[in-house]
Every structure is written in C-alpha cells, then in structure tokens.
Amino acid sequence: MKFDPKPQSRFNFKLEGWRSRVLLLFLMGWFVVLVGRDMYLQGFNASFLQHKGQERYSRVIDIPANRGIIRDRNGVPLAISVPSESILASRENVDIDEHQERKLASLLGIDVDELKQKLDEGKHNIVYLKRQVSPAVADQIMRLDITGLFPQRGYHRAYPKGEEVAHVIGFTNADDIGQEGIEYAYQHSLGGRDGAKRVIKDRAGHIIEDEQNIRVSRPGQDVTLSIDYRIQHLAYRELSKAVEQHHAQAGSVIVVDSLTGEILALANCPNYDPNDRHHLSGAQLRNRALTDSYEPGSTLKPFTIATALELGKVTPNTIIPTTGGVMTIGPARIHDTHHSEELTVSQVIQRSSNVGAARIALSLNPKDMWNTFTDAGFGLPPKLGFPGETGGKVRPYRTWRPIEQATMAYGNGISVSLAQLAQAYTIFANHGMLKPLSIVKVNGPVTGRQVFSAKTADEVKAMLEMVVQPGGTAIEAQVKGYRVAGKTGTAHKVSGRHYGNHYVASFVGFAPASSPRYVIAVMVDDPQGAVYYGGEVAAPVFSVLMGSVLQMNGVPPDDPGSGDYHITTKSDAAEDT
C-alpha cells in the first residue's frame, strides 16, 4: 500500500495560515499599545513627568581639599583641620513650615527673620545658610526633613595652642583661605586644590547618584615652623606678666637661633584666641614684632660704635669727652642720665652715654653710618611673608643735619621693628655676620652676610657683656651660670611731632657670650609708673626667658661661678608647658 501525503499537506497548510493570522493580529495589537503609550506619555501625563524631572537635577559640587597641618619644629600641631559641614539651601525648592523655621533658626544660631531673609532674598538659587557647623549640628538639621536643604562636607581650622601662637599662625576665613600669619603667608602650600564632581540630587538635596568626577582634590602640604612651642609658651607667659605688671599698652618678644636665624618664639600682647574671633579689635590683631616700628633708643648705639671701630676712628679704650653729661648742638641739647666728664668707648656702651655716642657719630661720614644701618637690615622688611611687615625708616643720609646724625647714634630719628633689631644683633653674636631670619625650620647650614670684621664684632660683644655686669645698665638681665651680652633701650615715644612723657622700654641680648646660641629681644610699650627703663622693665623678661631656653636645650654654662644653675632636660621643661 502506498503512502498518500496529500490529506496531511492540506491540514498543514490550514494550520500555517491560522498561525499567520494570529501573529499578525498580535503585532497589530502591540503596535496599538505602543502608539497609545506614546500618546499617553506625550499628552495625557506631561505634567506628571515634568514634576518628576523637577525632583531630580544635576549639580557640580566641590570636594574640599584637606588643608595642611602647621607644626612646630618638634612636630607639635599648631593648626589642624577638623571635619565640618556647611548647610545650603536650594531656594526655589525649599518647603518649610513655621515649626521647622523656628527649629532651623535655633540650630543655625540666628533668628527667624534672618533665616527668612537668607531664603527670600539674593540673586542665586543656592545659598549658604551657615558655614562650618559641626557634623552633629548638621545631622540635627537634616533630621528636620526640610525639602531643599542639603549639607556640604568640608573642614574648618582649629588651633590647639590658642592665643599663645596666634600672631604666628594667624587664621583662615569661612572659605578656609588664610587671612593672617602663616595661614596667609603659606596659603599656596597649605591650601591644596579642591576637587569637583557632578552628581544627581533630589528635591531634598540628597545625592542619589554620582555622574562624573571632574577634578580630583589634592590635599595641602604640611608646614613645619622654626617655632619651638616650649619656648613660645614661656615667651608669651613672661611677656604677659611684664605687660600686666607695668600696666603697659603692649609688648613683644622674639627669640632667634643666632646660628641659623630661625625664629624660635614670637609673641605679642595684646593677643587673641584664633578659635574665637567674634569680638576682635585691630590692636589684638597687630603682630607688633613685625608690623610696628619704633625708635630703638640706646639699643642702636652698638652699631654706631662698631662703625667707628671698623673705620679705625676709635678703639675700645679711646677717651671720649662727655662734658658732664651735656652736649649742645645749635639750639638742641643732648643729656645723659649719668654725669661724667669723660668715658672710654667701652664705657659709652656700658653706661649708655648719649653724649659719648653722639660725639663718636659726628666723627663719622653720614654715608658710613647709613651704610651700617642698611647693611644691618634697617629700612628693609625681613620678608618672612607675613602681612604688614614693616621695614622701619632710615632717612637718606644726604638730608641729615648734624643734630639728626648725633641723635641717630643713640636711636632717635630712626625707626625699626623688634624683628629687625633681633636679626641685627646676630651680627655681634656671629663674629660680624648677619643671619637671615626664617619662620620655617631650617635644615642644613645657613649662609650669612659679613657686615663687620670679626675683630670689630668681638670688641663690641665684649662691651655688651659689660652692660650686664656691675656698673652697667642691665644688671637684671644676668642669667646665673652664663655670660650674657646685651643692650638696654629707653626711648621717648613720639606724639605728633614732639616727644612726650611716654616710653618704649627694650632689651636685646644673647648668650652664652663665649659661644652665642640665642638672641632675645624684648620690647614693652608705654609702661606706667616710675619704672620705665629698659633695664628695669625689659631686662628681667630676658633673664627669665634666656635662662629657661639655655637650660631647656642643655647648653653648658660658661660662667659657673656666677651662681647656682641647673640644666633642665627637655622632658623636664615640657612639664612646664
């Protein structure tokens, strides 16, 4: 029997036709659904999609760089960055009720009217409601669940040692940019570079998606200062005591490593707390050791004497007529507090004779004196990078009249800063070589500039030792166990165009005199009462501070017969801070 395929073929043909019709109907139905959905999306639900689009928006946000740490020479942190938050608002998206307003204003530390003003006024949609709030406060604010508010993470500066280092360290503003001190001077290094990324946020300000990294943040570099906090602490303490004791207007002190020019301490009174700057005055902000110039008085005499020695005009033993402590130049008279008919050049320094210094100055060419002053750094700012550094004032020598040349010999008619004076005395501590000042830690040898010959500088150093010995003006600058060299200064303050009855008391010195290691300059502005001489007001500050610095750093005594002494170890000294 043969197989007949025809009936089966007819059945398959009918089945395939049925399937084709079903498939066609399915495709037509799906097409209708798609067209309908498209019409629905474009027409019927346009407002819904627009609302959804407004709930999500793209925004570029900053990624704050972590600012560098400022440390003292031994690694003690003096300025650090602490995590903080800023609270921002998208004004057009803010949805807040009265209860939330009151709570938010309270957490921000402002009144409700000020909050409303921030939200209602201004040109920009995104506004800062408060910068640099603690993460805990920011968390409380976000828990209020106010639509349109969002936090921005960042950092704010904290100063662990507070007012003791305020004028050195300075501070930053709300944008974390340095405004004073090291924070200002080293902004480029400390600041780093902020990063940025594009994100998607919802209406409440929450980041719901990272879109793109635009720029990677680069943290700031740390800065290690020349400052030794242990010495800084002592310097500020002793200066504060002196200013308070003498009811003075202000005061400054600076400690310099005479071998390297590094500033180990720099303090001023009045001062401020960089962690709380709500009620600052201009007087508190002034870094007087660098920004204020004053007539240095007799602390300038060694430079006049050194010029005459260098040029061979005198020797330490040359007799200078002092005519009973009075000298007349035209209508002007120069006086000494000690009346002598004659003094050796060494005694002119020891007894601080204005008449003797004036007579020596008048034997010199004005240009030679001017060269000495400018070579010593007077008239030029130290260039440490601090805002407002002064160079003082040294008038052109061609304009000097004889009386002006005579009075400049003992520090009248010329103005300097305390930092300049401290640097200038490194000349006598370094066999005639001036060392540049540095506020950052120095690694390696420091090249100086020879101002006087070693012979001249050492002769002046011997005279400066006499100042601190019996018969000198600075007995109270003595340090038990050590030879000290230095010079007192008591200058009338200029009031308008005349000298009044107010004074600047100062002392500059170094020790140990046999091999100098440290220069300390102290200035007390306008001490009140009967005690106002540099030897009585500033010299005692030098004595206490220098003694502590020498012992703290284990410098061997060079005059053990002068009294009791005790070498304090670094760990012992640290307990005092």
| SS3 of 277-296 | CCCCCHHHHCCHHHHCCECC
Q: Which residue type is seen at 161?
A: K
Domain residue spans of the chain: 59-185+199-224, 229-275+286-575
What CA–CA distance (Å, rounded) separates 507 from 538?
Answer: 6
Look-up: residue for tokens 């994100």? Answer: 199
Nearest one of 226, 231, 284 to 253, comparing CA atoms:
231
Q: Residue 296's closest CA among 545, 471, 538?
A: 538
Sequential pLDDT tens for the chain (577 residues): 444 545 555 545 555 666 667 667 777 777 776 766 666 656 555 555 455 555 566 666 667 788 999 999 999 999 999 988 888 888 888 888 889 989 999 998 888 888 888 888 766 778 888 888 888 898 899 899 888 888 888 888 999 999 999 999 999 998 889 999 999 999 999 998 877 767 676 655 556 555 557 777 789 999 999 999 999 999 999 999 999 999 999 999 999 999 999 999 999 999 999 999 888 888 899 999 999 999 999 999 999 999 999 999 999 999 999 999 999 999 999 999 889 999 999 999 999 999 999 999 999 999 999 999 999 999 999 999 999 999 999 999 999 999 999 999 999 999 999 999 999 999 999 999 999 999 999 998 899 999 999 999 999 999 999 999 999 999 999 999 999 999 999 998 876 666 678 999 999 999 999 999 999 999 999 999 899 999 999 999 999 999 999 999 999 999 876 655 444 434 333 333 3
CATH topology of domain 59-185+199-224: Penicillin-binding protein 2a (Domain 2) (3.90.1310)
The third-level CATH classification (topology) of the domain covering 229-275+286-575 is Beta-lactamase (3.40.710)
pLDDT value at residue 569: 39
Whether 298 is catalytic? yes
Residue 84's SS3 state is: strand
133 close to 192: Cβ distance less than 8 angstroms: no
Q: Tokens for 101, please give them.
A: 């307003």
Question: What span, in angstroms and rounded, lies between the C-alpha atoms of 284 and 167?
Answer: 9
Rounded to 5°, the CA angle 469-473-479 comes to 45
Element of type H or E holding 431 = none
Q: Are 155 and 84 in contact (CB under 8 A)?
A: yes
Cβ contact 478:543 at 8 Å: yes
Q: How far apart are CA 55 and CA 59, in angstroms?
A: 13
Among the listed residues 252, 298, 353, 417, the single catalytic one is 298
CA distances to 78, 172, 190, 211, 216 from 193, in Å: 22, 15, 9, 21, 8
Cα angle 359, 361, 365; round to 5: 130
